[in-house]
Amino acid sequence: MVKTLLKSVKQYKKVSILTPLVMIGEAVMEIVIPFLMKFLIDEIYVMERSGEFSMYIVWYGLAMLACAAFALFCGIMGGRLASKASAGFAANLRYDMYDNIQTYSFANIDNFSTASLITRITTDVSNVQLAFQMCIRMLVRAPILFIMATIMSFVISPTIGGIFIAAALVLGIIVAAIMVKVAKPFRIMFKKYDNLNRVVQEDLTAIRVVKSYVREEHEMDKMRSATQEVYNYSVKAEKLLNYLTPVVQCVIYVAMILLLLVGGNMLIGESSVVEGNLVFGGLSTGDLTSLLQYMTQILTAVMLVAMCLQYISLSKGSMDRIAEVLEEKTTLPKTSTPVFEVKDGSIDFDGVFMSYRQKSDVNVLSNIDLHIKPGETLGIIGATGSGKSSLVSLIPRLYDVSAGCVKVGGVDVKQYDLDTLRSKVAMVLQKNVLFSGSISENLRWGDENATQEEIEEACRQACADEFIKQLPGGYDYDLGQGGVNVSGGQKQRLCIARALLRKPKIIIFDDSTSAVDTKTDAMIRQSLRTHAPEVTKIIIAQRVNSVEDADRIVVLDQGRIAGIGTHEELLAGNDIYREVYLSQMKGKADEEDGGEEDGTRN
């Protein structure tokens, strides 16, 4: 998992390696400075006693200044490099995730919710970015600082070195205990963030439905409880984390008292002059000063390592979730010798079975045998949930069959280069989506090089040109996000025009004229018949009159073909079709009667 993530470091590999190296430079200087200070203090002491000025003081002072300047440089550089490396790593991660998401099939997309994908790309990557930055800055620097400061303390005084190790152990245990306790509420808090994102995303995308059903109060409650949960767990986690600084301070002070007690005693103990320095009980004043600094460094290093490990463990959940997105393999495997040409618009379903879940025995389509000729118009009718959308989704290979085979132009859809296949099979989806931008820009999704004439022609065929002309700005009219600025029926016609612009060999309308009035619906079908006679047309509809003039009509019932034939044939020989037809005719007659009655009364 870590390996998968680290692949995204890419061009930031150099900076990522350089950062810890620079940080080591800073750590070394931090060790050298107290050591120089020890000599400086001892030298001052000797100077005071002898009354003679020593040039060593100047040299030690200058050396300390140089070390401090170098440490400052390393610190600043390390910080800069770490930010660059971690921000670059995060950007690459986001890009790589997005790149892989683009290869997902519909089945892959079904595995992740949109909200969860958004959280993974945003919050989760930010968590990993922070952990990565902490690691490259601290995870090498802190242990090195710890080891070197301990060695130096032992060199100066083994007894005091021992005290430091004991203090570090105590601190390590306390900090580890806090970290372990804090990990659970933090982990839950991240999960609650997920929930919050889901609520926000769902509510905002469906804000119109929320308003029209007057569900604002209910949605506010949902939002309130989601925010409250995040609040509760962050307070819980932070409360524990707040103990950290005082505890570290406390251990530092206790260790300092011990150091001063033991060190002080050693100072007051019998004194001797070693190499010109006055040393009390084996410890000079300079020694004691530098030991104080080493002690702080050792204990801070323990805390930093613990914090780094904490960041890593906290971001583990995020890492897993990012790795899942990166490692998800498309369920539509590519063939090694793809076909790049769709010969014609013929479609063959040979013994097709389909299920949405892998290895599931619940089939949404069973034993479908259906052969459609190029240029044929095929209507599909059936109750909701009967498998109409599922059936046509197999043609542009949005999903794969579980058994059997779907052929387009005589070739198994699995043998095609996916882009080639999809460019020749245009599908007007049941849930249509337009994007922000002008009408022309949206239509060019069908063909980015389409001329204005071609766009207008496609709109004429889709009976969309008239309403477009009446809009302010015509084809430059801005659709707004998701195409909110046009009506449902207008949106459907724009989507049909967009599909026509692809100049497909097969065009599928999945309930695409449900929001268009019956007259315009008939006009669109008529214009397609005249302008695109060679294109195979599949029309899924709820209304019988949308398919009654088709060459053949398929009746689907619970994923099986329950009948196939012309309108007249089915009316004569298929019970389901007849029932649907009669119920719709009756509904229409009632409407007309109602209308007349109203008329007479007025």
Ligand X SMILES: Nc1ncnc2c1ncn2[C@@H]1O[C@H](COP(=O)(O)OP(=O)(O)OP(=O)(O)O)[C@@H](O)[C@H]1O
Give the footprint of Mg ion on this chain (CB under 5 A).
389, 430
Pick one of 240, 241, 308, 364: the residue that binds ligand X (CB under 6 A).
Answer: 364
CA distance to 146, 291, 381, 561, 584, per residue, from 386 (Å): 69, 80, 9, 10, 18
Burial (CB count <10 Å: 0-12, 13-18, 19+), residue 106: middle
- Which window, 54-62, 378-386, 410-418, 463-471, contacts ligand X (CB under 6 A)? 378-386
Contact assessment for residue 380 and residue 395, using Cβ atoms and an 8 Å cutoff: no
Nearer to Mg ion, 19 or 389 (CB): 389
Q: Which does 410 bind (CB under 5 to 8 A by kind): Mg ion, ligand X, none?
A: none
Asked if residue 397 binds ligand X (CB under 6 A), the reply is no
User: What six digits make up the tokens of 83?
Assistant: 């930010």
Q: Which does 45 bind (CB under 5 to 8 A by kind): ligand X, Mg ion, none?
A: none
Minimum CB separation from Mg ion for residue 474, in Å?
33
Does position 440 interact with ligand X (CB under 6 A)? The reply is no
Using CA of residue 243, residue 244, residue 246, residue 247, what is the dihedral sign?
positive
Number of residues that bind ligand X (CB under 6 A): 12
First to last CA, the chain: 75
Q: Does 141 sit near ligand X (CB under 6 A)?
A: no
Which of ligand X, Mg ion, none is residue 384 near (CB under 5 to 8 Å by kind)? ligand X
The interface partner of residue 333, options being ligand X, Mg ion, none and the CB cut-off 5 to 8 Å by kind, is none
| Residue 385 binds which of Mg ion, ligand X, none (CB < 5-8 A, kind-dependent) | ligand X
CB 505 within 8 A of CB 536: yes
**Residue from 157, 290, 386, 442 binding ligand X (CB under 6 A):** 386
Is 389 or 432 the residue whose CB approaches Mg ion more closely? Answer: 389
Task: Work out whether 243 is an interface residue with ligand X (CB under 6 A).
Answer: no
For the CB of residue 365, give the shortest distance to ligand X in the complex, in Å.
8
Residue in 409, 424, 408 with CA at minimum distance from that of residue 502 = 424
Which lies closer to ligand X via its Cβ, residue 90 or residue 364?
Answer: 364
Count Cβ atoms below 10 Å from residue 384 Cβ, excluding itself: 8
DSSP track, 274-301: ETTEEEETTB-HHHHHHHHHHHHHHHHH
Which residue bears the tokens 């245009």?
426
Interacting residues of 238 by C-beta distance below 8 A, sequence separation 6+: none
Q: Which option in ligand X, Mg ion, none does residue 364 bind, with CB closer than 5 to 8 A by kind?
A: ligand X
Closest CB 539 distance from ligand X, rounded Å: 13
Beta pairing partners, 416? 339
Calpha distance 243→249 (Å, rounded): 10
| Least spacing, CB of residue 492 vs Mg ion, in Å | 14
Of 120, 137, 321, 388, the residue at the interface with ligand X (CB under 6 A) is 388
| Pairwise CA distance, residues 164 & 493, whole Å | 78
* Least distance to ligand X, CB of residue 321, Å: 22
Quick one: which of 389, 402, 492, 574 contacts ligand X (CB under 6 A)? 389
Residue 105, interface with ligand X (CB under 6 A)? Answer: no
Residues at the interface with ligand X (CB under 6 A): 110, 356, 364, 382, 384-390, 430
